[in-house]
A and B are shown apart, each in its own frame.
Chain A
Amino acid sequence: MNESLYLPRIAVLKDKIAETPDTVTFTFGLPEGGNLNNIPGQCLQLTIFGYGEAPISITSSPTEKDCFQLCVRDVGNVTKALHKLEIGDKIGVRGPWGNGFPIEELKGKNAVFIAGGLGLAPLRSLINYIADNRRDYGKVWILSGARTPKDHLFKWEWDRWSKIDGFEVLTTVDRGDDTWTGNVGVVGSLLYKTDIQVENTMVFICGPPIMFHFVTMDLAKLGFKDDMILSTLERHMKCGVGKCGHCNVGSKYVCMDGPVFTYAEMKKQPGAL
């Protein structure tokens, strides 16, 4: 194809689901129908015309045939403009880009998902992919932590997930409130609240760097090997196509070689952790 890689395609806003006071899940459709053919864990460059571009993970699974979803926190210029859009408004997208999660390698294995805050957004694409291809995958544990009960994302998915055969959902908050009757404590503590199998299990972590730091210590204690622990790296990104240099980490480019890396790979790249 000879088309410029800087040319976005149009998508139309179809639905908004408020997750937290500052985070919304947006559902988009493509005028030509279909979805983005994304691999779970891939990202895109989102354009709000007149404001700019920002890298965002695709939170929907490609098994969702007629739309794609982005779960976005309002933090600045582009994300604020996105939150102001109304149903029917248009955005631009480039991508999907990145390697995505290893859905082939995971076949026949169990999966543990450990999410901190917004980190559940990228993980959800794989969780729903497994749910829709249930027979190909083993057991699934979803551990999700948030600062307070109102900071939890995708609460509307919890019920559906926990009813799927072989799925277990555990949630926690750093600080509870009157409505919260569940766990209180860091997300890593959930690892000890259930019987997680270490053999034949891959772990997917997404969340703030500090959470990653402590969770990997817990996982090592439980006996997980570095090459069975996967996460995504977040960096400043401008192009998504290996040119602008902003996402460079050691000899890797997060936009081309990532965003998904094993813990073993991260340890090899200076400045990754």
Chain B
Amino acid sequence: MKRLFKEDVASFVRELKRSYKVAAPQERDGEYAFDFVEDEDKVVLDYPSTILPIKKFFFPPEEIILEYDLSDKEEIKFKSEPKADEICILGAHPCDINALIRFDMVYLDDKFDPFYKKRREHALIIGVYCTHPSESCFCGSMGTDRVEDGYDLMLIDGGDEYGVEIGSEKGDRIVNSMDIFKDGKDIERPKLEGFIRGVETDDLPELMLKKYESDLWNDFGEKCLGCGKCVLVCPTCFCYNVVDDIGLDGKNGERKRIWDGCVLTDFTLVAGGFNFRKDRTSRLKQRILHKFSYFDDKYGVSGCTGCGRCINVCPADIDCTRVINLLRSESK
């Protein structure tokens, strides 16, 4: 197995920056966040969890998906052209790589999203195995503390060095073209222990459907503020809204998509004022059921990676693991 000494990480990042815009976890006000790297020494690969997931690098909070030019009435011109920089995501945890795999299921199907696809094709993913779960993590229950694909390289903490797992040809080329990688002994993937939170996933999608009418939902629904933070921080939430903007001269227009979320009041509002999910409980139910039941039914894996971010961020202390565990104990 190739290895990378920890003292060489900064030089490695410097080397990567010659070909890629490198995004990696860095400290920000006592927490960690993925940002493009200015100072290589600020990169932190041993971190608990980042406040935001890496989805913004592939699916920005706001982007133009169509531009149109109306200056010639005879010939309206459009453009819907994705652009992408070569980027490298360095230091993604297994849960976040698993989230990307789920995003791919939705955005790279036979009707693929060209903007997302282009960015995915121009991204190098170098992950690192997480060594200690944070308080809100439950990836151990979701099986997302492991990854078998979805990365180019994976780093395994071995004390003073990282063992390097190769996940793709691109990754192989990097490891074999840089002297910074040395030969070394095999290092085992860490086994995560000490989870505070957990859920039992056996038949979970079916159980959730069976408990659709449970009164328990109201206890949580009534607390939900509909702030949308849970959706914002979720690595697998992919929903968006679309708005058209036109220049003051009426000649140039653009169509933008903006992150949206099913916990927000207007998500299912249609003309005439009818709202298919008009109360908070039905909206919270949608979020939790989509993650733990509907997504699974459609794609065969849970839509939740157990990253714990939604639990961490919720101002109303709504914790999906608690909802699930209560529903399960109700049905026993």
Please list the residues of chain A having a beta carbon within 8 angstroms of any beta carbon in chain B.
2, 4-8, 10, 49-53, 75-76, 79, 90, 92, 234-236, 238-239, 241-246, 248, 250-251, 256, 270-271
Q: Which bucket holds chain B's interface residue count? A: 35 or more
Please list the residues of chain B having a beta carbon within 8 angstroms of any beta carbon in chain A.
65-66, 68, 70, 76, 78, 80-82, 106-107, 109, 111-114, 209, 212, 238-244, 246, 250, 253, 255, 257, 260, 262, 267-272, 276-277, 282, 286, 289-290, 293-295, 297-298
Docked pose: A5 CA to B243 CA in angstroms: 16
B261's nearest neighbour on chain A, judged by CB, is A245
With A52-B243, A244-B257 already in contact, the answer to whether A4 and B80 are too (CB < 8 A) is: yes
| A170 nearest CB across to chain B (Å) | 27
Partner of A244, one of B78, B241, B244, B286: B241
Q: 30 A–B contact pairs at CB < 8 A?
A: A5-B114, A6-B65, A6-B114, A8-B66, A8-B78, A49-B76, A49-B246, A52-B243, A53-B244, A75-B271, A92-B78, A234-B270, A238-B241, A239-B240, A241-B111, A242-B111, A243-B238, A244-B239, A244-B241, A244-B257, A245-B260, A245-B262, A246-B267, A248-B294, A250-B294, A250-B297, A251-B295, A251-B298, A256-B111, A271-B282
Inter-chain contact A271/B286, CB cutoff 8 Å = yes
Partner of B268, one of A6, A7, A8, A246: A246
| B113 nearest CB across to chain A (Å) | 6
Docked pose: A241 CA to B113 CA in angstroms: 9
Provide the residues of chain B in CB contact with A75, threshold 8 Å. 271-272
Docked pose: A134 CA to B53 CA in angstroms: 57
Which label, helix, strand, loop or mixed, suits the secondary structure of the A interface? Answer: loop
| B204 nearest CB across to chain A (Å) | 14
Partner of B109, one of A6, A90, A242: A242
Docked pose: A270 CA to B210 CA in angstroms: 10
Inter-chain contact B106/A242, CB cutoff 8 Å = yes
Inter-chain contact A246/B239, CB cutoff 8 Å = yes
Provide the residues of chain B in CB contact with A236, threshold 8 Å. 267-270, 276
Inter-chain contact A245/B76, CB cutoff 8 Å = no
Docked pose: A49 CA to B209 CA in angstroms: 42
Provide the residues of chain B in CB contact with A53, threshold 8 Å. 242, 244, 255
Inter-chain contact B240/A243, CB cutoff 8 Å = yes
Provide the residues of chain B in CB contact with A2, threshold 8 Å. 114
Docked pose: A209 CA to B81 CA in angstroms: 40
Docked pose: A271 CA to B68 CA in angstroms: 37
Provide the residues of chain B in CB contact with A256, threshold 8 Å. 111
Docked pose: A50 CA to B78 CA in angstroms: 12
With A49-B70, A271-B286 already in contact, the answer to whether A235 and B111 are too (CB < 8 A) is: no
B244's nearest neighbour on chain A, judged by CB, is A52
Docked pose: A256 CA to B110 CA in angstroms: 11
Docked pose: A7 CA to B257 CA in angstroms: 14
Docked pose: A258 CA to B238 CA in angstroms: 20
Docked pose: A244 CA to B257 CA in angstroms: 9
With A4-B81, A6-B65 already in contact, the answer to whether A238 and B76 are too (CB < 8 A) is: no
Given contacts A53-B242, A234-B270, 6 further A-B contacts (CB under 8 A): A4-B66, A5-B114, A49-B246, A92-B76, A242-B106, A251-B297
Provide the residues of chain A in CB contact with B111, threshold 8 Å. 5, 241-243, 256
Docked pose: A243 CA to B294 CA in angstroms: 15
| B221 nearest CB across to chain A (Å) | 14
Partner of A243, one of B107, B244, B277, B298: B107
Provide the residues of chain B in CB contact with A90, threshold 8 Å. 76
| A144 nearest CB across to chain B (Å) | 21
Inter-chain contact B294/A51, CB cutoff 8 Å = no
Partner of A6, one of B66, B212, B272: B66
